[in-house]
């Protein structure tokens, strides 16, 4: 049950967050227009990392399509869960797979396979209980993961409330009021 609470950010206090963020001129209008927003997470840090690597420098729609292909080709079939047909692929499943069949570019497929292999060998790599700084440092040591990806994974996969992918183009545009 705790995992579901974290996944949907149900332990956040939207009123306290609104009080704090409303003090910022840059955020006050957005907070007023969209009160109670929560930050949805991922089922686990590995899924968040895969989604972040796949989604680097492409649209959300394209990343969603590629991730769906990964799940279809490399996820284990599920039975008895209405609407769900496959589990998200494990690190072991992605480590030795030909990820190009899902439409990933060669460099992205190589990086994703290397990260999956590392997580398969060292499951504690994504264990909870570390500070944001430790999480970012450990993730940035992996191939194809820089500060944006590490912060995104910390935010979505580790549910780190202070994580922030500050160089995200969509966020920067939203904060400056320019259209995407």
Active site residues: 168
Distance CA 55, CA 162 (A): 21
Contacts of 171 (CB under 8 A, 6+ apart): 165
Tokens of 57: 């420098």
Cβ 94 vs Cβ 113: under 8 Å? yes
- Report which of 104, 106, 41, 107 is spatially closest to residue 74, judged by C-alpha positions: 104
């Amino acid at each position: 049950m705790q995992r579901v609470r974290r996944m949907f950010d149900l332990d956040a206090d939207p009123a306290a967050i609104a009080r704090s963020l409303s003090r910022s001129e840059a955020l006050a209008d957005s907070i007023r227009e969209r009160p109670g927003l929560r930050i949805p997470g991922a089922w686990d840090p590995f899924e968040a990392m895969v989604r972040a690597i796949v989604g680097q420098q492409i649209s959300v729609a394209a990343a969603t399509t590629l991730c769906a292909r990964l799940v279809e080709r490399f996820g284990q079939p599920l039975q008895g869960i209405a609407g769900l047909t496959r589990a998200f692929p494990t690190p072991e499943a992605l480590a030795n797979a030909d990820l190009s069949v899902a439409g990933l570019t060669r460099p992205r497929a190589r990086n994703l396979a290397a990260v999956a292999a590392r997580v398969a060998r060292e499951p504690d790599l994504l264990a909870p209980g570390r500070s944001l700084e430790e999480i970012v440092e450990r993730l940035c040591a992996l191939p194809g993961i820089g500060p944006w990806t590490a912060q995104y994974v910390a935010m979505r996969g580790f549910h780190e409330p202070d994580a922030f992918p500050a160089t995200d183009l969509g966020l920067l545009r939203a904060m400056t009021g320019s259209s995407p």
